[in-house]
Chain A
Amino acid sequence: MPIPPKQKITLSFSGCGFLAIYHVGVASCFREFEEQFEIERIAGASAGAIGGAVHLSGCCLGKATTDVVQLAAAARASPVGPLSPRFNIVRSLRAGLRKTLPDDAHLLCSGRLSVSLTRCSDGKNLMVSHFGSKEELIEVLLCSSFIPLYSGLVPPYYKDGRYWDGGISNNLPVFDPSTVTVSPFSGESDICPSDKSAQSFMEMSFGNQNFRINSTNAYRLTRAFFPPHPDHLKEICEEGYRDALRYIKNTLLHCRLPDSLVFSEPQTPLLSPTEEREVEEIGVPIVSVRSEERAVRRRINLERINALLEKYSSDNPNLPITVIEALRGARRSTPHPVVQILSYAALPWILPLEFAYSTCIRLIELTPMPRNMELQYYIEVFSSIAQRVVAKILSRHGGSAWVQCNCKVETVSGNRCVLHGKAVINQSHSLTFAFAIVEESPPICLSSSSASSFGSGNSTLPFSFQLPAVEPAKSAHAVAETAVLISDIRWEDGAADMLAYEESCDIVERFEREISDYFQAQIPRQSIGTTPF
C-alpha cells in the first residue's frame, strides 16, 4: 500500500495564560497522529508561543506539564494568588524555559515558530520568527507573555525596544487563512471548546480573536490569570485533547462528514462542465462528483488511520503517560483544606501588607539604581571575558599559566558602576581590567591622561577611546602589566544582557589584538625569559 505523504499543517496557538495546559492537550493529540500530520509551523502569542516553542523543539510534554503545574501551584500558594510579591512570573518562566528547552531550541524554532509581540511605544504588532540563540528565544517568549501590571511594571527588552504581551495586538496570529487556529476560549477558532450549553449570539472580538460571551468563557478568562485548581487543569488539558481529536476526525480526515464538501479552493470550480450534467437530477449531492483521484487518496488514508480511530472511538482523551503523571503529581501538592481556610481567614490582615510590600518591591525595581543590574551576572560575564582575553594572550605566547580572576564592584555611583577585576597570569604578570557599565549609552572615556593611548589612532574603533597609564603592579617582586578595558554596556532590565555581552565581546576582541600587540612589544623587552612557567 502506498504511504500517503504527511499532511502539512500550520497551527496557531492563542495566548491564554495558565490555560496553556489546553495547548498541551492539543499538542499531545497531534503527537498521536504524527504519522499522518506534520506540524510545519506554529504561530503563537503569549503562553501560546511558549507552547509552540515547547512543541517544536520536541520537549517532553510531561516536563512542560510539570512546569505549568508548578507555576500554577506557585501562583496559588498565596491567598492573593499570582498578585503576591513572592510570585515573580517573569523570573519563574525564564528559569523554567532555560531548564525545559533544549540547547538547540533556537535552531529548531527559527523559521518555524512565529511569536507575536506588541511594541510598547506604539502598540504595533511584531512577528518574530528568527532567533539567534536560546537566550534570545527565551527573551522573545518572555516579552510575548508579559502582561502589563500583572507580570510587572517594566516590560522586558528585546533588540531595540520594550515589548508587551503579543495578545494585546494579535492574540491569534496566522500565517495564512488555512492556519488551524487553537484557542482554549470558545469562539471562532478551528480547535476550541464548543460550549454546547449556550447558543447565544453575543460575541466579542479582542486581539484578532473572537470570543463568545457566556459564563464558561468568563470563567476561563479569570482562570487564564488566576490559575485553576489542578483538577481543573487536568480537565482543561483533556478538553484540549478532545477538541483537537474532534477537529482531526471531522475536518482533517472528514470521517464523520461522509458527504460534506469542504470548500476551500475558490479557484477550482465546484463542478467541472462534464460533471455538471450528472448533478442535474435532484437528489445528487454535489460531493458525489468529487474527483476520482482525491477519493482514492482519501480511501488509502482512511484505511491507514481506521485502526487509530478505533482507539479513540470513545472520545476518551488518551493523554501521554508523562502528562497524566505530571497532572496527578499536582493534586498531591495542594495544601490541606484547614491551611487554606486559615490563609483565607488571615486575608483581610495580610492583604494590605502584601499589597504594600508588593508595591514597594515593584517601585524599587522601577527606580534606576545600579543594584538592579544583577551585578552577579555582570561579574560572571566580566570574568569570562577576562579569562578569554588572558587565555588568548597566553596562547600567543605559548605555555600555560594559572589564571585567577577576582572581580569586585569597585564603584557604584549615580548611573554607572565600574567592575574591577584582576587576572593573575603568573607570579610576575597580572592583568587588571576595569569594566564600566553605564545606564545611558554615550561613549565614555575613562581617564584621558597622558598615557599610552590605544586605538586613538585606530579608525576601526567605534568611539574614541583611551587607555589610562600602564602602571606597574603593586607587587614587590616583578614587573606587572596593567591594562584597563572599558566597554560600553547598556543595562536594561536583564533583557539586553546577552546583547550587551555580545557587544562587549566584539569590543573586547578588537582590544585583544591591541593588547596582545602591546604585550608582544612589552614582554620580551622585559623579563619574560626568566619567568618560571
Chain B
Amino acid sequence: MDNADNTKEPDRVSPSTCTVVRAATGWLPSFSPASWMPSLRWVPTSDEALAAAERTILAYLKTPYEGKFITVVPDDSVTRPDPSKASHRIWTVSMNTEQPISETPIVLVHGFGGGVGMWAQNLDALASRRPLYAFDVLGFGQSSRPAFSTIAETAESQFIDSMEAWRKEMKLSKFILLGHSLGAFLAASYSLKYPEHVRHLIMVDPWGLPERPLDKDQQKLPIPFWIRTAAAVLQPFNPLAGLRAAGPWGPRLVGRFRPDLQRKFSTMIAEENAIFDYIYHCNAQAPSGESAFKAMTGGFGWAKSPMSGRMTTMASHVPVSFIYGSRSWIDHNVAYTVKDSRNDAFTEIILVSGAGHHVYADKPAEFNDLVGKICRRVDDEDAKKSKI
C-alpha cells in the first residue's frame, strides 16, 4: 500500500531543530544535514529514520490513517526544568474520524520505550467502530523530547499536563482511555486528575501499581557479591543507555536481545527488521521520557508513588478494566486490592491466557475482541442513558 495515499506528510522540521536534536544525540555532531556524510554519527538514528520506520509498519494497516504533529502548550502552573521551551509537538495518529459508528473515541497510550507503531496489530480492529487516536507520549517516539524533572511528582505532572493540553488541542470531551504498562500508569494518573474526560479506563498490564514490599519479604537466594556490584554500578544509568552506547551496533542489538518482538508481529508485518528498526529508533534518540521514567521509579523499577493506593480516590463514575497477560511477570493480585478499595465503582479484572507483558501483541485477536466488547458495552450504556 502506498503511504502517500493515506498519510499527510509531517510538518517539515526546521533545520535548527534538527541540529539541536542531533547534537544531543550523537557524540560527533553532524555539521549540517548534509547527505554526503551520514556516517559521522555514532548513534545511527534521526527523526527521519524513525518516521520512516514507523511508516513501514503502519503501511500494513488496512484502514487509512492520518499522522500529524499536534503542537501543545502545556499549563504554566506546572514547573518544568526548561520553562522557555513550553510548546511541545505530540505525534498523533488518527483513524476513522470521518464517519464512525460510535461517537465515543478511544485513545491509546503506549508503554515504556514504545510508540504508536507498537499498536500495529490493534489499530484496525479498535478503529472499526469509533474514532481512534494514538499518540507518542511526550519524551517517547516521534514526540518532542524535553528535559524532565528529576522529581517523581513533577515528571509525572509534566506527562499528564502534556496529555491534557493534547486533549484540548484535539477537542475531545470524553473518551475511552487505554494504556499499556507505563502508559497505563499515566492513563490512571490522568483519570485521577481529569476524571470528567474519561468515559472508561482500560489498564493493560499496568506498571507501577504495587507498593514496594519491605526488605524482609525479599527472596532468600543469596546474590553473590559480583552480581550485586554490577547491579549497583548499572543503577545510575538510564535503562536503555547500553543501546545508545553501542552506537552503530545498536540496531543489531535489539534483534539480538528481543528476537521475540519480531515473532509477535510476524503475522502482520512481513519485513523482517521493521519492528527492530522502529524500536531502535524510538529509543536511540536522546533519553527524555526514559529519564522521566527513571525519575518516577525507586530502585528495582518500583514506582515512587504507586498507583494502587492512589486509585482509591479515583472518581467512582470512571469504570476501570484491568487486562493482564497470564504469563506476564506483572502481579495481577494487586488489581483485586484496587477493586476492593473502590467499593461500588465498576472494576473488572481480565486475564488473557497465554499472553505475556505485551498482551496486545502476544494475543492480538483476543485483545482486540476483548477491548471491542468493553467499548461496545460502553456504547450500549450510553445509548440506554440517552433513551432515559
Contacts and interface: CB of A to CB of B under 8 A. Distances in A.
A195 B239 CA distance: 19
Contacts of B297: 199
B377 A201 contact: no
A262 B348 contact: no
Contacts of B326: 190, 251, 262
A256 B366 CA distance: 23
B301 A210 contact: no
B302 interface: yes
Interface in B298-351: 300-303, 319, 325-331, 333, 344, 346, 348-351
Given A214-B300, A215-B228, A232 B222 contact: yes
Given A200-B239, A232-B221, A194 B331 contact: yes
B150 to A, nearest CB: 19
B301 A216 contact: no
A7 to B, nearest CB: 14
Contacts, number: 144
A258 B231 CA distance: 39
Question: Which of the listed residues B217, B259, B300 has the most CB atoms from chain A within 10 Å of its own CB?
Answer: B300
Contacts of B354: 177-178, 264
Contact of A201 (B181, B366, B384): B181
Question: Which of the listed residues B113, B302, B329 has the most CB atoms from chain A within 10 Å of its own CB?
Answer: B329
A263 B260 contact: no
A270 B370 contact: yes
Question: Which of the listed residues A193, A263, A280 has the most CB atoms from chain B within 10 Å of its own CB?
Answer: A263
B218 interface: yes
Contacts of A204: 257-258
A235 B219 CA distance: 10
B227 interface: yes
B258 A205 contact: yes
A263 B327 contact: no
A201 B370 contact: no
A52 B381 CA distance: 51
A377 interface: no
B181 A260 contact: no
B213 interface: yes
A282 interface: yes
B365 interface: yes
A220 to B, nearest CB: 8
Contact of A235 (B220, B258, B300, B356): B220
A196 B331 contact: yes
A201 B207 contact: yes
A198 to B, nearest CB: 4
B328 A202 contact: no
Interface stretch (A180-188, A295-303, A402-410): A180-188
A285 interface: yes
Interface in A261-294: 261-264, 266, 270-271, 276, 279-280, 282-283, 285-287
A260 B239 contact: no
B145 interface: no
B340 to A, nearest CB: 11
A333 to B, nearest CB: 20
B48 interface: no
A261 B221 CA distance: 34
Contacts of A218: 227, 230-231
Contact of B369 (A199, A220, A260, A266): A266
A218 to B, nearest CB: 5
A197 interface: yes
Nearest to A217: B227
A251 B324 CA distance: 13
Contacts of A178: 353-354
A381 to B, nearest CB: 44
Contact of B373 (A188, A189, A270): A270
A261 B260 contact: no
A338 B294 CA distance: 46
B217 A196 contact: yes
Interface in A207-246: 208, 210, 212, 214-216, 218-220, 222, 232, 235-236
Nearest to B317: A282
A270 B230 CA distance: 48
Contacts of B213: 196-197
A380 interface: no
A160 B327 CA distance: 37
Nearest to B325: A188
A203 interface: yes
B350 A263 contact: yes
Contacts of B210: 199
A195 B221 CA distance: 11
A199 B301 contact: yes
A257 interface: yes
A196 B332 CA distance: 12
A260 B221 contact: no
Contact of A195 (B208, B219, B227, B333): B219
Interface of B: 111-113, 181-182, 207-208, 210, 213, 217-224, 227-228, 230-231, 239, 257-261, 297, 300-303, 319, 325-331, 333, 344, 346, 348-354, 356-357, 365-366, 369-370, 373, 377, 380-381, 384
User: What 7 pairs between A and B have smallest CB-CB spacing?
Assistant: A200-B301, A188-B356, A199-B301, A205-B260, A198-B300, A264-B353, A197-B218
18 contacts: A186-B329, A188-B327, A188-B328, A197-B219, A199-B207, A201-B207, A208-B260, A210-B260, A215-B230, A219-B227, A220-B221, A232-B221, A235-B221, A251-B353, A259-B349, A260-B349, A282-B346, A287-B348
Given A199-B210, A210-B356, 18 more contacts: A188-B356, A190-B327, A196-B218, A196-B331, A197-B213, A198-B300, A201-B182, A205-B260, A215-B223, A215-B228, A219-B223, A257-B351, A270-B373, A271-B373, A276-B380, A280-B381, A280-B384, A282-B319
